[in-house]
């Protein structure tokens, strides 16, 4: 049994709430981990189920836990908040939030652009692009499938070995070194559901919510330098947009 009797005058549910929160902060309860049942927690702390529920409800309101109906209560996964009033990439944004970001390269190849990609990158119909597909992680949890296309004639030096050496996080820095500093982007966002293939890659259930994004990135001189299809987990990704009138 967990001893919560050491502090007098503090309601039991507050002691349980803070005990659970401390376990989350320390990593003893890991992100995405399912909590013991209310009965089990009640036995651990020597309290009623109602007291446990009050404690966990406040942690849910605070964003530390979430409930899945009929399944149980879980520690909240890392949440990516993107400020779309300024242009940052996944890694820059994660660093600002204190989240450890990683990328796994799934595919690297030089291919002919599809008509849609050629149009976005202002290429000839048979223009070549570097196709770079990666899975992005936040605190070791898969959150994004990033499917990027880069004009080959501008960045032919980006071989697979080169990409490994420079680290995918610093790709925009390579654009700048080549004379194409990233300046702005145009993107479209829409809600989708994960199909079987995407769900398997991202280790989520088919039909899970996805925030889908198409983005064209432009250099300072207006040259398009990257076109991307991006699939973000809807339960871990939100965006903020500044609107002026």
What pLDDT, in 10s, does the model give residues 178-223? 999 999 999 999 999 999 999 999 888 899 899 999 999 999 999 9
Q: How far is CA 196 from CA 17, 40, 133, 135, 142, in A?
A: 38, 35, 18, 16, 16
245 located within any domain: no
Mean pLDDT of 120-148: 90
Q: Which of 22, 46, 75 is the last residue of a domain?
A: 75
Least confident of 68-72, 98-102, 234-238: 98-102
Three-state secondary-structure class, residue 190:
strand
Question: Residue 228: which region, alpha, beta or left (left: phi > 0; alpha: psi -120 to 50)?
Answer: beta
Confidence at 125, pLDDT banded by 50, 70, 90:
confident
Q: How many residues does the chain have?
A: 245
Which DSSP helix (H) or strand (E) runs through 232? strand 224-233
Specify which residues 236 forms β-bridges with.
none
Mean pLDDT of 108-114: 95
Q: How far is CA 142 from the centre of its chain?
A: 7
Cβ-contact 82, 93 below 8 angstroms:
yes
* Beta-carbon-side half-sphere exposure of residue 100 (alpha carbons within 13 Å): 3
* Predicted model pTM: 0.69
Whether 56 and 90 map to the same domain: the answer is no
Alpha-carbon span 79 to 241, nearest angstrom:
17
Count of domains in the chain? Answer: 2
Whether 129 and 232 map to the same domain: the answer is yes
pLDDT in tens, 26-60: 878 877 788 888 899 999 888 999 999 999 998 88
Whether 68 and 180 map to the same domain: the answer is no
Three-state secondary-structure class, residue 220:
coil
Alpha-carbon span 104 to 91, nearest angstrom:
13
Whether 87 and 148 map to the same domain: the answer is yes
Interhelix angle 49-61/12-26, nearest 10 degrees: 50
Q: What is the pLDDT of residue 130?
A: 95
Cβ-contact 59, 76 below 8 angstroms:
no
Confidence at 91, pLDDT banded by 50, 70, 90:
low
Question: Does the pLDDT at position 170 exceed 90?
Answer: no
Q: What is the CA radius of gyration of the chain?
A: 23
Nearest to 229 by CA among 219, 241, 238, 216: 216
Mean pLDDT of 127-146: 88
Which CATH number do you get for residue 34? 1.10.10.10
Q: How far is CA 225 from the centre of its chain?
A: 23
Confidence at 12, pLDDT banded by 50, 70, 90:
confident
Which CATH number do you get for residue 220? 3.40.1410.10
Q: What is the pLDDT of residue 240?
A: 74
DSSP 61-95: HTTSEEEETTTEEEEPPP-EEEETTS---HHHHHH
Nearest to 239 by CA among 134, 97, 77, 85: 85
Which residue matches tokens 């965006």?
239
Range of the domain at 47: 12-75
């Amino acid at each position: 049994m967990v001893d919560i009797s050491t502090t007098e005058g503090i309601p039991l549910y507050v002691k349980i709430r803070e005990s659970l929160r401390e376990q989350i902060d320390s990593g003893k309860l890991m992100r995405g981990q399912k909590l013991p049942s209310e009965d089990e927690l009640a036995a651990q702390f020597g309290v009623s189920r109602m007291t446990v529920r009050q404690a966990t409800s406040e942690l849910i309101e605070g964003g530390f836990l979430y409930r899945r109906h009929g399944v149980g209560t879980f520690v909240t996964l890392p949440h990516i908040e993107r400020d779309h009033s300024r242009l940052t990439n996944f890694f820059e944004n994660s660093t600002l939030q204190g989240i450890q970001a990683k990328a796994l390269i799934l595919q690297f190849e030089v291919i002919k652009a599809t008509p849609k990609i050629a149009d976005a990158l202002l290429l000839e119909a048979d223009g070549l692009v570097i196709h770079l597909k990666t899975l992005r992680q936040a605190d070791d949890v898969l959150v994004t499938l990033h499917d990027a296309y880069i004009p080959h004639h501008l960045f032919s030096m980006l071989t697979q070995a080169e990409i490994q050496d420079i680290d995918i996080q610093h790709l925009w820095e390579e654009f700048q070194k080549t004379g194409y500093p990233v300046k702005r982007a145009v993107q479209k966002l829409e809600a989708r559901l994960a199909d079987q293939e995407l769900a398997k890659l991202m280790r989520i259930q088919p039909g899970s919510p996805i925030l889908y994004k198409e983005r064209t990135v432009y250099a300072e001189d207006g040259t398009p330098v990257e076109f991307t299809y991006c699939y973000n987990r809807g339960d871990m990704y939100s965006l903020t947009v500044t609107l002026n009138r």
